[in-house]
Amino acid sequence: MSSPLRHPAQLGALVVGIAYLAAGLLGFAFTGFTGWVIDTREDMLGFDLNGFHNIVHFGIGAILIGVSLIREPTITQGVLIGGGLVYLLAAALGFTGNLGSLLSIDGLFASDNFLHLGSGLGAILFGLLGGDVARRRLKVQGP
């Protein structure tokens, strides 16, 4: 019997999903459950937090865990690539100073911007790497 996580994209989505889910839950230990969009000036390991930011991370983690368990890995790949593009957009908006009001990210060199950049690039990489594995598997197995 094969493992349900047969594909690199699925494993990547599961690992990153667990990390984001945990970050979302732990964030509430710092911010509490009130003041969803206010700038709390709270941080966890150098990353800015507020209730909305925690919900976003929790939701992204749950989505990634869910798509890691889908039988068809191309769906996982698509979600990783699409999510990666969204994270790159968040990084670009953060570096230009346009994420501050909602996510309480403070300016150009905020650690959150670099986390978004790394998350976006990593998600896209996992999504694209898996395609190479699938192509090699098709060559070995044939049509």
Predicted local confidence at residue 75, as pLDDT: 92
63 is a domain residue = yes
**Residues of the domain holding 68:** 8-141
Residue 1 lies inside a defined structural domain of this protein = no
Tell me if 14 is assigned to some domain. yes
In a domain, 107, yes or no: yes
Q: What is the pTM of this model?
A: 0.76
The mean predicted confidence, pLDDT, of the chain is 79
Number of domains in the chain: 1
Rounded Cα–Cα distance for residues 38 and 49 (Å): 10
pLDDT band at 1 (very low <50, low <70, confident <90, very high): very low
- With respect to residue 3, please indicate whether it lies within any of the assigned structural domains: no
61 found inside a domain: yes
Residue 104 has pLDDT above 90, yes or no: no
Q: Is the Cβ–Cβ distance between 10 and 68 less than 8 Å?
A: yes
Residue 120 pLDDT: 94
The answer to whether position 19 is within a domain reads yes
What mean pLDDT comes out for the span 94-100?
75
In order, the DSSP letters of 37-88 are: TS---EEETTEEE-HHHHHHHHHHHHHHHHHHT-S-HHHHHHHHHHHHHHHH
pLDDT digits (tens, 9 = 90+) for 31-70: 777 666 555 566 676 676 777 788 888 999 999 999 999 9
In a domain? residue 51: yes
Instruction: State mean pLDDT over 122-142.
Output: 71
